[in-house]
A and B are shown apart, each in its own frame.
Chain A
């Protein structure tokens, strides 16, 4: 586990953010160190996606300050709607390089090599020339992860990357995330799977419209804290379903 003192890779200080008049997050103060995997957990509507969008810089907070590294890699929650678009797995991966390549230019041979390498990393190298819509759901998720890797950023933001993932996809994610951490980069991953979060993340951020707890999994996955965040909802912990006791945050 990474125990690294300042400077943090990214930091939120007193951030409140939301859409319109509704604040999905209030007063969030969090330091994200370099070289670790941070899990964002909490019930639906807890503000996980909102927090990621603030870190991404596409949602301006209503209050507070945000510090992030210049480049941020991203894997959106739902992914594209247009899977029938005539692009190959390699084309989609290369999209991660577009900002670096710049306007009016095409990715060159070097970018193609990096993209193929990223596809290899997620176990998709052999299917690089396959049209994206002709891949299985798990394979598509891995291509989107390869695209995020190609953004070549010190901070990766992955929004529910494992929802509905098959076993090889989950294994590829674990391996890739380990490589991300080992190279001093940080991945912030939102997830509903507390068991996965407990076993794979260095730090967890338990959200319920605010930060209920932020720290190592052993500290965060505490029955009382979970009850506070989830209210009376059913949650999954280490593959076991438990009913959190009725709390004051039930909605």
Chain B
């Protein structure tokens, strides 16, 4: 079984596996809300919006994860505040903010002419260069995101299912929405090394969408999404190692393949009504 064990001799590979596992767990848990609440567009916006944070942190030699986190949280606050005002349609506000932020990132990159290849790493992920510091930071962010999501799960589920009722029960719905966006930003930051800026959205959406096909229970869905994310992350990483292709792309293509297999398999079961009745 040296195909499985050989890569583990390398320190960078062990760190990479840790990084994709953290990504899978965090994105699976939070991605369930992205899928259930239809937040894919906001998720996309947040991933793009962290880009200038990455570039700035890179330029001044600070941790890119920290840069992404700060700018991401600021954007989450901005989106939540603008869409609360009601003068601009929410999706319009999101489109304006995230395109503007990404453009800022592009302009900043063009001032760093000598670092173009490094910037490509930021966009597409460079998992084989995960430093111990990055791993600690990603681990901390993942711990906060997972802990807070589990702690607030029943409130998040209530708001997602029946917002009017949550308001009627006098929950601070705006603050909880903001918290969810903040936790999404954490998930995105955790995923930057393993997956890269552009493909993070796939890790938030695809494993959770796959899990939704498999179960009708929220917590089972979150667990399944995390498990699928971790499994696809590990498989994708091995593919990336042995075939020498970009890790982020390999991981995301693995999740995409699993999604279509599960979609086809569950579709086949659905068409046998006798089986469905027996459940």
Residues of A within 8 A of B (CB): 56-58, 74, 76, 78-82, 84-88, 91-92, 95, 98-99, 101, 103-104, 106-107, 131, 134, 147, 151
Contact = CB atoms under 8 A, between A and B. Distances in A.
Q: For chain A, what secondary structure do more than half of its interface residues adopt (helix, strand, loop), or is it mixed?
A: loop
A170 B201 CA distance: 45
B168 A86 contact: no
Interface in B203-219: 212, 215-218
A76 B217 contact: no
A91 B154 CA distance: 10
B160 A98 contact: no
B165 A95 contact: yes
B158 A76 contact: no
B216 A58 contact: no
B162 interface: yes
B165 A88 contact: no
Given A85-B160, A88-B217, A106-B154, A76 B36 contact: no
Given A82-B36, A86-B212, 13 more contacts: A80-B163, A82-B37, A82-B161, A84-B36, A85-B160, A86-B36, A91-B157, A92-B162, A95-B158, A95-B161, A98-B169, A99-B170, A106-B154
5 contacts: A74-B165, A74-B169, A84-B36, A98-B169, A131-B216
B164 interface: yes
A46 to B, nearest CB: 20
Contacts of A58: 167-168, 170
B155 A98 contact: yes
A78 B163 CA distance: 11
B141 interface: no
A85 B161 contact: yes
Interface of B: 36-37, 151, 154-155, 157-158, 160-165, 167-170, 212, 215-218, 220-221
B162 A76 contact: yes
A22 to B, nearest CB: 15
A57 B170 CA distance: 8
Nearest to B151: A104
A92 B160 CA distance: 12
Q: Which of B37, B162, B164 has the most CB of A within 10 A?
A: B162
Contacts of A74: 165, 168-169
Contacts of A87: 157, 161, 217-218
Nearest to A97: B154
A220 to B, nearest CB: 27
Nearest to A105: B154
A98 B154 contact: yes
Contacts of B160: 82, 85
B279 to A, nearest CB: 10
A74 B170 CA distance: 11
Q: Which of A74, A76, A79, A87 has the most CB of B within 10 A?
A: A87
Contacts of A107: 154
B170 A86 contact: no
Contacts of A92: 161-162
A78 to B, nearest CB: 7
